Amino acid sequence: MKLLLKDGTAFEGKSFGAPGSTAGEVVFNTGMTGYVESFSDPSYAGQIVVLTYPLIGNYGVPDKKVFESEKMQISGLVVSEYSEKYSHADAKESLGEWLKRSGVPAITGVDTRALTKKLREHGVMLGQLTNDRVGKFSDPNEENLVAQVSPKKKKVYGNGPIQIIAVDCGMKENIIRSLAQKDVTLIRVPWDYDFTAEKYDALVLSNGPGDPTQCTATIEHIKKAMADNKPILGVCLGNQLLALAAGAKTYKLKYGHRGQNQPCIDTETGRCYITSQNHGFAVDAKSLPREWKEWFINANDGSNEGIAHSSKMWRSVQFHPESSPGPTDTAWIFERFLEDLRKLV
């Protein structure tokens, strides 16, 4: 099997996933562990993932109850060395078996260091995993990926007095776990659902894949929520959607942030947190309206990692405070959001 990049570069290796070919955007992830959570994260839809950590698969795959969605979401996988033998108390199958069952091609034996260096210098590239001749290169960001991964119907969790609308643009399950408290009724709705007709106390905007400007319906609904002065918390793609609703702009990063080791600085305290991330787009901080400020900044490249309104309860972060995988250092963001809501309701 070969990994073919759009510039003509080819990397050869051995197939260990599903047979057949796949196309997508080739990106790299710097996490040392957490492939189960990452591969089931809907934010990875349309992407061929290159893992920089050299040995993958050694702890297998556990029961799907710990997945971040119902299925594997990546389009393809590239690793340096795949471990066919796995050992973990919770493992139910091998990574290769999960890939085959999910219909996702994968390749091992690739010089992922050289590949990652190429992606860092050039930026993310379109690519294909194939045993055959070159097919069509397709850019997933030209599609509305959010519409593909978002659920079709709303779902309600709990029956507490605090009513929270959670817009599912490709939401990780641990966001639900983080918000589903005893005093909360969590209403999970599709990306284009008009929640403004619902009775609710606050709004949560989830993570998700692709270009945020494709989510025009979501952005319009957020604007209505802002006009009604509803408290809002955004996560990952939610950071970008909130910024767009506020009148700011977004742009595509050269190679994105993917992994569990991204340092972010809280501008209010000066503290640096290590965070879990997966995004290819970012908010243009210079385009933020005057009443908005940057809440977090990436310590590596200075890009935006969160925004906050000067007087309203409107805040969002570009990273994943729910982790899964990754450090739980910023779980306090959900806790503070809920505490602030309890004072209002």
Active site members: 236, 320, 322
> 65: Cβ–Cβ under 8 A, 6 or more apart, which residues?
none
Supply 142's token pair. Answer: 């030209």
Strand partners, 5: 127
Say how far apart CA 215 and CA 237 lie, in whole Å.
Answer: 10
Are 325 and 260 contacting, i.e. CB atoms less than 8 angstroms apart? yes
Report helix, strand or coil for 100. helix
**How many Å apart are CA 54 and CA 57, to the nearest integer?**
10
Q: Give the Cα separation of 27 and 240 in Å (integer).
A: 20
Q: Is 204 helix (H, G, I), strand (E, B) or coil?
A: strand
- For tokens 């929520």, the residue is 225
Give yes or no for a contact between 2 and 12, defined as CB atoms under 8 angstroms apart: yes
Q: What angle do CA 218, 250, 328 make, to 5 degrees?
A: 80
Here the tokens at position 345 are 């309701």
What distance lies between CA 143 and its chain's CA centroid? 16
Q: Is 199 exposed, middle or buried (0-12, 13-18, 19+ CB in 10 A)?
A: exposed
